[in-house]
Structure 1
Amino acid sequence: MTGMTVGDEELAQQTIGLLELTSLNVDDTPERIIVLCQRALTPFGPVAAVCVAPRFAGLARRTLDSWQARDIKVVAAINFPGGTGSVQSVESETQAALMAGADEIDLVYPFRAQLAGNKFAGAEMVAACKEKCDGRADLTVTLETGVLRDPQVIHDVCRRVIQAGPAFIKTSTGKVAVNATPQASRIMVEAIAEVGGQVGFKAAGGVRTLAEARIYLDLVRARFGPLWLEPGRLRIGAASLLDDLLLRLGLCE
């Protein structure tokens, strides 16, 4: 904890409560998901959510429930990671994840179709997924901003997705060369503000340290104020960030 200020300690604890602890590897096992759920219950309080593949949504929910951790959301990543599924496959995947116990659905936007000039595929897919989720689960749409790249394209996609009414828009899957960046995040946050500030924001992919997380917390605080620093509005999706936060708070895993 050397060099930590009181402000840093408070920020580290606050960030734990905003964390969406993620395991989305092709070689994930039930044992790894149980460990993920175990890590979600930290000595400084629970994380906001765990994000897993749909096939593990039921296991994650049952495991957390067995530890009286109902408040930790289970997020199932759909159309992951390439965003190349059909509307029908996305609907089927969403339905299966919800029936298994997922609290939230994280849909990867068809970003490759967008880059190929198809601006309607994304709108159709988001609308179909939102319909499956309505009344049952919150929807996040992951844009893969590091692939979309162009600021105007990111802004236009944000506007279209936000109008479909998801709970969150998210920067990235964490599975491409460029993931969360301050520049793309600023465009996303501004788009949220332009459409009334009714959609939350998630930064994900490559956020590994408290210093990196601070960038996104400061960005959201500057635009929307401190009341937005709660898990219904802001989350940081990460696999390894928790290690750094606990280390800074004096715990080594």
Structure 2
Amino acid sequence: MDLSSLKAVAAAAFACLDLTELGDSATEEATLSLVERAINDHGSAAAVCIWPRFVAAARKKLGENSPVRIATVVNFPSGDLPVDKVVAETAGAVADGADEIDLVIPWKAFVAGDEKAVREMIRAVRAAAPAPVTLKTILETGEIKDPALIARASDIALEEQADFIKTSTGKVAVNATLESARIMLEAIRRSDRKAGFKPAGGIRTVEDARAYFALCDEILGPGWVAPANFRFGASGLLGDIIATLEDRSKLAGQGEAY
């Protein structure tokens, strides 16, 4: 990718976009409208990220062979649900047609020193969503705060076979930052296994996207960024992507940026 070209960055960002509708008042109609925006003249987003209750409707609309994957969230946004309930959420979403599960780890327990709770949650959800389902673990880095703890949470998630580590729910005061991204990307490099990274929350411009791509190039090497390895959790980014690709002023962001 040519990072000097905003159009090239915009095209790559769209291909790596998890177009997201996780508002508290989300409806099936709004969710299906989001699904429609995931494919346009410029190609397709990587996925739509939606509430579990809308997965079946999204699958019906997209069909079985769509280039757009369906992601959904479990233990979201608090991270406080018991393991059995999260497993049930996961199993139901997979049965309804979800391709990807974005799991909030029990980060409050983790900050309190309970690593076992994190391992047990990830392990149980991984069992309920085996490959080829993609498992992304949301660390809620803006609440964990301590760089050493962010690194440790990243290591644990990767050790427990998460496919991606993701910064945030987008529901707290501090979401994705380049500082937390650096820690998490270094954890992926350190793990020496194939795993992906998803910054989520507050990423709204192609310039923002370029900064994350540059960081990935620095830590994991040019050519690492691809939809299989990297996602943006956002909807507000879509307007600037399309405006950049079409050489016009920024469109209003659509949806909420998670």
Instruction: Please state which band the TM-score falls in when normalised by the shorter chain.
Output: over 0.9
Q: Which residue of 2 aligns with 1:9?
A: 7
Q: Which residue of 2 aligns with 1:249?
A: 245
Q: Which residue of 2 aligns with 1:60?
A: 58
Instruction: Give the letter aligned to residue 137 of structure 2.
Output: V
Q: Secondary structure at the match of 2:23?
A: coil
Q: Secondary structure at the match of 1:226?
A: coil
Q: Which residue of 2 aligns with 1:228?
A: 224
1:159-208 superposed Cα distances (whole Å, 9 cap, x missing partner): 11100111100000100000000001100000110010421100110001
Task: Choose from 107, 112, 117 the match for 1:116.
Answer: 112
- Stretches of structure 2 that go unaligned for 5 or more consecutive residues are 253-258
Write the distance in 2 (CA, Å) between the matches of 1:79 and 1:192. Answer: 23
Task: Choose from 152, 158, 169 the match for 1:162.
Answer: 158
TM-score, normalising length: structure 1: 0.94
TM-score, normalising length: structure 2: 0.92
Whether the aligned pair in 1 keeps the contact of 2:185 and 2:220 (CA below 8 Å) is no
Q: Which residue of 2 aligns with 1:40?
A: 38
Q: How far apart are residue 118 of structure 1 and its match?
A: 1.6
Whether the aligned pair in 1 keeps the contact of 2:9 and 2:209 (CA below 8 Å) is no
Q: Which residue of 1 aligns with 2:255?
A: none
Task: Choose from 124, 128, 132 the match for 1:128.
Answer: 124
Q: How far apart are residue 56 of structure 1 and its match?
A: 0.8
CA distance 1:85–1:11, shift in 2 (3 Å): same
The 5-angstrom pairing of residues 137-216 of structure 1 reads: 137-216=133-212
1:97-143 superposed Cα distances (whole Å, 9 cap, x missing partner): 00111011110011111122222111100000001111351100000
1:194-238 superposed Cα distances (whole Å, 9 cap, x missing partner): 010421100110001111111111111122223222100011110
Question: Percent identity over the alignment?
Answer: 39
1:56-115 superposed Cα distances (whole Å, 9 cap, x missing partner): 1111121122xx861211001000001001110110000000011101111001111112
Task: Choose from 68, 77, 91 the match for 2:73.
Answer: 77
Q: Secondary structure at the match of 2:231?
A: strand
**Number of residue pairs matched?**
247
Q: Which residue of 2 aligns with 1:102?
A: 98
Q: Secondary structure at the match of 1:227?
A: coil
Q: What is the aligned-residue RMSD (CA, Å)?
A: 1.5
